[in-house]
């Protein structure tokens, strides 16, 4: 503590440690944004009425819901879901019958879709970094 007080009292170090007004304003603005986000989260607490309105269709969907319905398995979402289930359901992949072959084809579609989606996300992120620079 003694050293920090000595550094602050030194006139040469005072210029180095002094914070500019723009930096101070940007920090204040960031804190205000965080407070607004915190207040929004406090308002959006779980409620039974909100759940009922969501299920009836009166409340708007969350971004996660929209993303899941848009991205998961397009253009064949039912085939994607079947392949995803085949990947973990031991009952489906341990019995070798005609359903197994259909399940395996769905599983191949599921794997191909997840790999291509990951590749597309990686390429998008790479191109974004090239254009805008690393964060």
Q: Is residue 95 part of a domain?
A: yes
* 56 domain residue, yes or no: no
Asked whether residue 65 is assigned to any structural domain, the reply reads no
- 110 lies in a domain? yes
- Regarding whether 80 and 128 lie in a shared domain, the answer is yes
How far is residue 53's CA from residue 56's CA, in Å, rounded to a whole number?
5
For residue 127, the enclosing domain spans 76-132
Tens-digit pLDDT profile for the chain (135 aa)?
677 777 777 777 767 777 778 888 888 899 889 888 877 765 555 566 666 766 666 665 555 555 554 557 888 888 999 998 888 888 887 888 888 889 999 999 999 999 999 999 999 989 988 998 876
How far is Cα 116 from Cα 110, in angstroms, rounded to an integer? 10
- 16 domain residue, yes or no: yes
Count the domains in the chain: 2
Residues 6+ apart with CB under 8 A from 135: none
Give pLDDT, residue 106: 92
Burial class (CB in 10 A: 0-12, 13-18, 19+), 104: middle
What is the pLDDT, as a whole number, of residue 123?
94
Residue 69 lies in a domain: no
pLDDT for the residue numbered 10: 76
Say if 48 falls within a structural domain: no
Report how many helices (DSSP H) and strands (DSSP E) the chain contains, helices first. 8, 0
Helix 98-132 with 77-88: angle, nearest 10 deg: 110
Report cis status (omega within 30 of 0) of the bond before 113. Answer: no
Within-domain flag for 128: yes
């Amino acid at each position: 503590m003694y050293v920090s007080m000595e550094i602050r009292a030194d006139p040469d170090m005072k210029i180095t440690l002094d914070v500019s007004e723009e930096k101070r304003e940007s920090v204040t603005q960031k804190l205000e944004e965080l407070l607004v986000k915190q207040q929004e989260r406090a308002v959006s607490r779980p409620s039974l009425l909100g759940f009922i309105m969501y299920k009836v269709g009166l409340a708007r969907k969350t971004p996660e819901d929209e993303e899941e319905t848009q991205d998961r398995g397009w253009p064949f979402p039912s085939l994607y879901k079947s392949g995803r289930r085949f990947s973990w359901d031991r009952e489906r992949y341990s019995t070798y019958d005609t359903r197994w072959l259909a399940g395996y084809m769905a599983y191949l579609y599921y794997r191909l879709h997840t790999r291509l989606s990951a590749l597309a996300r990686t390429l998008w992120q790479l191109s974004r970094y090239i254009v805008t620079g690393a964060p």
